[in-house]
Structure 1
Amino acid sequence: MQRTTRLLLPQYTQRIPAPQPSPAAVPQPDLVMITTYPPRACGLATFASDLIEAIQTQYEQAFTVKICALDVPEAVYPAAVFHVLQPESSASYHSLLTKMGQLHQQEWVIVQHEFGLFRSHEFKLLNALNQMEKKIMVVLHTVLAHPDEATLLFMKRLGFLAHTLVVMTAHSQKLLVERYGIPASKIIVIPHGTHLVDHLPKAVLKKRMGWEQRTLLTTFGLLSSGKNIETTLEALPLVIQRFPDVLFLIVGKTHPGVVAQEGERYRHFLEEQITALGLQHHTHFINEYVALPKLLDLLQMTDIYLFTSKNQEQAVSGTFAYALSCGCPIITTPIPHAKELVQKGSGLLFDFEQPVQLARQLIALLAQPEWQEELRGNGLHQMEPTAWENTAMHYVNYLQQQSTTPMPLTLRLPNITLKHVWAMTTGKGILQFARLNQPDTNSGYT
């Protein structure tokens, strides 16, 4: 059946009260989010942008998001960015505090946190948060399993200042409690959001690109040595012996931070590996920060998605969450996020930096199309609750419940669409079943 967004509406057990005055009469509260933000090209910026867009899509009235962007002042930002923060500058923090004091109604600050954004300037961040006298929600995109002493101290202070810490996996929640000593009452788990897609047939999408005769393996994300893409390249010769039509797509430009430090050294290294292994006909770079519609098409036409990161501390990956939501069976290294998802039947694991293991998993999965379909269906159903629309509701409902000032919410009802009904209808009637959103003409009529 077609995937739909589940709206978690209240269950009324008593008479519905009389209508109240329109919430439009109550001013919308301001919410400040400290984050990287487009046009900066990074996963955290994309996350923040997707979350804010989902909130605005789901609610006619919730709150007004004011963005404090972490970047250089020369970047051209949208109007929602009311301050550009330079993490190394005390004056920049002071300016942020001054601007926040001018907001008419503001109770919450959300910090999108990733190690590296505030490196060597952690005290300035903590000092600013302490002066804000607001409720602080920190979204932790990484929780280190083996922190050094300085990181442990920083995280404990951050946990003390925060009203709430958001993590994306149960494993990260457990680490915060057991290794960092942060009270469980301060921690909530909200999975990484994903995009709902129409799930067009693979053959149609492949034909558009001229790849209809190829079996596509894909990885995507900003390129860096941590992605460990050479593991896949080393595995491919074994795979190609059995499946000579394989094409490996490497999607994404090099991370801007990596370019600033070492240029395109890692990409050149991969190109040299491809030549040395004779893989020119079996690899294809898409060297750009791919726009969302194109990315979702690339993932939908992918036969198997590969996640080969060698960073054992990586808590979560938005890349393979997006891949699962697009119907990709995945083969992945065992980072905590992957283990939590794959154990529910949506993919396979292999050990860090083990190309022979990866090759064996690929060969086994490619040899069994029915197994691929099973993993694909499991992944799609598993990721349905994590649609950005649902993720936005998790955040907004929590903020409303924890707020002391009124936060009126007005859901925006989705547009009615009969597309699936028409797809299921033939000249005889309505087909009985579908495989996800594809009509099953062999199922008979209802």
Structure 2
Amino acid sequence: MTPHRRIAVIGNSLPRRCGIATFTTDLERAIANSRPNIETCIVAVNDHGQTYDYPASVAFQIRDDVVEDYVRAAAFLNAGRFDVVCLQHEFGIFGGEAGGYILELLSRLHMPVVTTLHTVLAKPNAAQRAVMERLVETSSKIIVMAIKGKEMLRSSYGVVDDKIEVIAHGIPEFPFAEPDAAKAKLGFDGRAVILTFGLLSPSKGIEVMIDAMPSILQRRTDAVYVVLGATHPNLVRDQGEAYRESLMTRVRELGVESHVVFLDQFVDQATLLEFISMCDVYVTPYLNEAQMTSGTLAYSFGLGKPVVSTPYWHALELLDDGRGVIVPFGNAAAIGKEIALLLTDAPRRQAMRERAYATSRSMTWERTAERYIAVFENARHGDWLKVVARTGPVAIAHSPAASDMQLGHFLSMCDDTGLFQHAVHSVPDRAHGYCVDDNARALLLACALNNPGEKRLSEVLTARFAAFVQHAWNPDTRRFRNFMGFNRTWLEDRGSEDSHGRTLWALGECARRDANPSRQRWAAALFAEALPTVMTFRSPRASAFTLLGLDGYCAVAPDDLRAREIRHSLADGLMSGLASVETPDWSWFEEGLAYDNARLPQALMQTGIATQTPGYVDAGLRSLRWLMTQQTTPTGQFRPVGTAGFGELRQPPRAFDQQPVEATATIAACLTAWRADGDVEWKAIATNVFAWFLGRNDLSIVLVDPETGSCRDGLHPDRANENRGGESVVSYLLGLADIRQLARVNVGVAAPAALRSIGA
């Protein structure tokens, strides 16, 4: 997927003090940091004549009550030739009746608009409904942060499902940590800390929590309730600090002055994260159910905090299934009871912490930015249009050359540095340079082509991929860099956890299967040097990729005791993730599905086979069987998890966009399952998955060119992506290599017809 070059976000912006400003700023930063070649800016809306000392990311300012500013903002965006505009909408931050001035801006834009709704009103007045209907009409996509928002848009406003995306509120990446160090630093050492943070206003229900303190103190005399946050600026403007003073009076009347602390501060993110880190329980005692999202709730949940909350919409979804505690609105006795129970039950509190942290990994700003970018891509191409339903069998395209390993396009995507990331149609796109992810995959392909019956890659080309990996290693950070510009300049000092794990996988396979003994020794040495870093990682895919690499490395270095320890530690981590999330209808390692899904069960199975640990094998088989139920249509064809659904919590996978990497991972996992339990059905499934490349897919489109070995980048709802980048061609060739090896195993055995048509 080719990223956009210019993206503008419209909303409030820090240092303005409000939740929308924080969200807009965080979203813009996350999108800007997600790709080296994305240029972003903010169009900031100022309130009631206020001015702010904005950072350079704010490229244009709108006075909320000056309609001409909205018109000028549209002209600015059009002149800047932005690819997409992302609007942050909340009633009350734009001028005009029901915030209607924003429509003057949107109606003049020449690019698609993606609108994030921070509020969906169940009972709008006539003006609010009219604005909402125009927003929906003008926007290519609508994003909400809770499933409830999607339901309301569908039922109350008639918005079609395919126009709505549910993307959870982003959270910062923060390590899972015990609260003691932060308590000591912030002056709360030895206290049981209950925290609420955010702009202070009567709707937050702080007085209910204050009323609960006496009952909590009966069970935990060391408890302290910290209320962190400045009073909402609008409240200060209208009433001064009367609300805060009323709360302090209530504290004095209850005699809990030494157990309630008000910190009248609007803190920066680093300080805020320290305060969240120190708390034992986070509480949101809001008084109104009609709260579609809460950034404070998302942040606290994302740092692995036990949460006690009233049942507003966001909390009901996020804390469902025991991930937190829900109490009735305005019920001080219930809040006090539940908080006291948590503060006096350390094992339960710790289990809730671990589950919250594990569940929230799909919500990090890095993951959120990826999902927004996927939505932007769809919006730009109008892909929200529904695909006409297809019925009946889908013919598989057969070609005499389909069984041949054609490397023409793959070779054209390589230069003397390595494999290019992207292509424009079939032409290598130098503008996007290279990445270690794709060059590691290319090294894996070089190893796969050392199998019997395959034509090896040239020594020069294999050495080139190895050299790219070597150059990617940064000994100062103990991490592999990922993105490199066409000028051979690294664009970062470290890549993602997943890219590090994938590189270890390639090194492990190279150590075991490379044709050059010297390069095998190099790969083993670099693998051993880069391996310990993964023990600091949180990504389950990084663990899975590393385990696949350890399968190769441990075969050639059986005496490396530290590697064996790490191998079991990573596998146990995947087992723990599965145990903490799995339910009868959700047998998976995370609360949502993302990319390269099948690599997780594959890694567990391969590790279980190699270490003779049946529990790993059983868990891998169980989770892969469940994954296949999610990736198989009622007519029996393979439908890989679509990028549009990445990160959605416990939802059936979206159909689009479908990408080759998913098919390749699933083929490999199914063949590993076959080796694990001997069930020949796994071979048939792997063959059926490979048929996705050949046209047995939702659009009946052949994705590969058998003459050149190129592969389209995936399936949109209405067409194939005609670009044929590095990841796609390597994914196809790796899948083909697996199927060709399976065909050789099946010589003399009655293989399925589809398998015979593509075997060598």
2:363 is equivalent to residue 386 of structure 1: yes
2:55 is equivalent to residue 69 of structure 1: no
Give the deviation of 1:252 after TM superposition.
0.8
2:310 alignment counterpart:
333
Matches within 5 A, 1:180-191: 180-191=157-168
Structure label with greater radius of gyration = 2
1:112 alignment counterpart:
88
Q: Distance in 2 between matches of 1:272 and 1:281?
A: 13
**Which of 397, 407, 410 is residue 374 of structure 2 equivalent to?**
397
Q: Which moved more, 1:349-358 or 1:201-210?
A: 201-210
Unaligned runs of 5+ in 1: 1-9, 11-22, 437-445
Give the deviation of 1:404 after TM superposition.
4.2
| Aligned-partner residue type, residue 151 of structure 1 | Q
CA contact (8 A) 1:205 1:301 kept: yes
- Cα deviation per residue 1:106-157 (whole Å; 9 max; x = unaligned)? 2321110111112544332223211223211110011122222322222112
Question: CA RMSD, aligned part only?
Answer: 2.7
CA contact (8 A) 2:228 2:265 kept: yes
Give the deviation of 1:401 after TM superposition.
3.4
Q: When the two structures are superposed, what TM-score results if normalisation uses the length of structure 1?
A: 0.85
CA contact (8 A) 2:28 2:42 kept: no
Give the deviation of 1:388 after TM superposition.
0.4
Matches within 5 A, 1:291-370: 291-370=268-347
| Aligned-partner residue type, residue 96 of structure 1 | A
**Which of 476, 493, 496 is residue 414 of structure 1 equivalent to?**
496
2:203 alignment counterpart:
226
Matches within 5 A, 1:41-190: 41-62=17-38, 64-71=39-46, 72=49, 74-103=51-80, 105-118=81-94, 120-121=96-97, 122-190=99-167
Q: Distance in 2 between matches of 1:115 and 1:65?
A: 24
- Cα deviation per residue 1:343-372 (whole Å; 9 max; x = unaligned)? 132211111111111112122222321111
1:255 alignment counterpart:
232
SS class of match (2:107): helix
Q: Distance in 2 between matches of 1:403 and 1:154?
A: 23
SS class of match (1:61): coil
1:443 alignment counterpart:
none
| Aligned-partner residue type, residue 317 of structure 1 | S
1:13 alignment counterpart:
none
Q: Distance in 2 between matches of 1:375 and 1:82?
A: 42
Between 1 and 2, higher relative CO (CA 8 Å, sep ≥ 6) is seen in 1
| Aligned-partner residue type, residue 238 of structure 2 | Q
- Structure 1 residue runs of 4+, over 6 Å off? 405-411
Q: Distance in 2 between matches of 1:159 and 1:303?
A: 41
Q: Distance in 1 between matches of 2:380 and 2:96?
A: 33
Q: Distance in 2 between matches of 1:74 and 1:225?
A: 26
- Cα deviation per residue 1:201-234 (whole Å; 9 max; x = unaligned)? 3222222233221100000001111111000000
Q: Distance in 1 between matches of 2:201 and 2:37?
A: 40
Q: Distance in 1 between matches of 2:130 and 2:218?
A: 52
SS class of match (1:106): coil
Q: Which moved more, 1:49-58 or 1:329-338?
A: 49-58
Q: Distance in 2 between matches of 1:215 and 1:74?
A: 40
Q: Distance in 1 between matches of 2:88 and 2:206?
A: 27
- Cα deviation per residue 1:245-283 (whole Å; 9 max; x = unaligned)? 101010111111111111111111111011111111101
Query: Which structure has the highest helix share of the two?
Result: 2
| Aligned-partner residue type, residue 67 of structure 1 | I
SS class of match (2:36): strand
Q: Which moved more, 1:286-295 or 1:169-178?
A: 286-295
CA contact (8 A) 1:248 1:284 kept: yes
Q: Distance in 1 between matches of 2:367 and 2:243?
A: 37
Give the deviation of 1:294 after TM superposition.
1.6
Q: Distance in 1 between matches of 2:536 and 2:336?
A: 42
What is the total number of aligned residue pairs between the two structures?
A: 408
Q: Distance in 2 between matches of 1:170 and 1:409?
A: 35
- Cα deviation per residue 1:395-414 (whole Å; 9 max; x = unaligned)? 11221233249998778533
Q: Distance in 2 between matches of 1:380 and 1:311?
A: 26
**Which of 183, 189, 194 is residue 171 of structure 2 equivalent to?**
194
Give the deviation of 1:75 after TM superposition.
1.7
SS class of match (1:131): coil
Q: Distance in 2 between matches of 1:311 and 1:53?
A: 31
Q: Distance in 1 between matches of 2:95 and 2:76?
A: 24
SS class of match (2:325): strand
CA contact (8 A) 1:348 1:361 kept: yes
Q: Which moved more, 1:119-128 or 1:271-280?
A: 119-128
| Aligned-partner residue type, residue 277 of structure 1 | L
Give the deviation of 1:89 after TM superposition.
1.1
Give the deviation of 1:200 after TM superposition.
3.1
| Aligned-partner residue type, residue 291 of structure 1 | D
1:31 alignment counterpart:
7
Task: Flag the 1:298–1:433 CA change in 2: closer, same or farther, 3 A.
Answer: farther
Q: Distance in 2 between matches of 1:209 and 1:158?
A: 45
Q: Distance in 2 between matches of 1:409 and 1:367?
A: 54
SS class of match (1:379): helix
Q: Distance in 2 between matches of 1:391 and 1:199?
A: 19
SS class of match (1:384): helix
Q: Distance in 2 between matches of 1:208 and 1:385?
A: 30
| Aligned-partner residue type, residue 379 of structure 2 | Q
CA contact (8 A) 2:67 2:95 kept: no
Give the deviation of 1:73 after TM superposition.
6.3
CA contact (8 A) 2:78 2:110 kept: no
Q: Distance in 2 between matches of 1:61 and 1:143?
A: 34
Task: Flag the 1:102–1:422 CA change in 2: closer, same or farther, 3 A.
Answer: closer
SS class of match (2:43): strand
Q: Distance in 2 between matches of 1:305 and 1:334?
A: 15
Give the deviation of 1:307 after TM superposition.
0.2
Unaligned runs of 5+ in 2: 383-423, 436-482, 484-494, 501-529, 538-560, 574-610, 612-760
1:243 alignment counterpart:
220
1:439 alignment counterpart:
none
Task: Flag the 1:387–1:309 CA change in 2: closer, same or farther, 3 A.
Answer: same
| Aligned-partner residue type, residue 40 of structure 2 | V
Q: Distance in 2 between matches of 1:187 and 1:422?
A: 36
Give the deviation of 1:339 after TM superposition.
0.7
2:700 alignment counterpart:
none
**Percent identity of equivalent pairs:** 28
Q: Distance in 2 between matches of 1:247 and 1:335?
A: 25
| Aligned-partner residue type, residue 31 of structure 1 | I
Task: Flag the 1:419–1:278 CA change in 2: closer, same or farther, 3 A.
Answer: farther
Q: Which moved more, 1:66-75 or 1:30-39?
A: 66-75
Q: Distance in 1 between matches of 2:321 and 2:34?
A: 29
Task: Flag the 1:29–1:285 CA change in 2: closer, same or farther, 3 A.
Answer: same
Q: Distance in 1 between matches of 2:170 and 2:197?
A: 17
SS class of match (1:79): coil
Task: Flag the 1:127–1:409 CA change in 2: closer, same or farther, 3 A.
Answer: farther
2:635 alignment counterpart:
none
CA contact (8 A) 1:156 1:182 kept: no
CA contact (8 A) 1:251 1:287 kept: yes
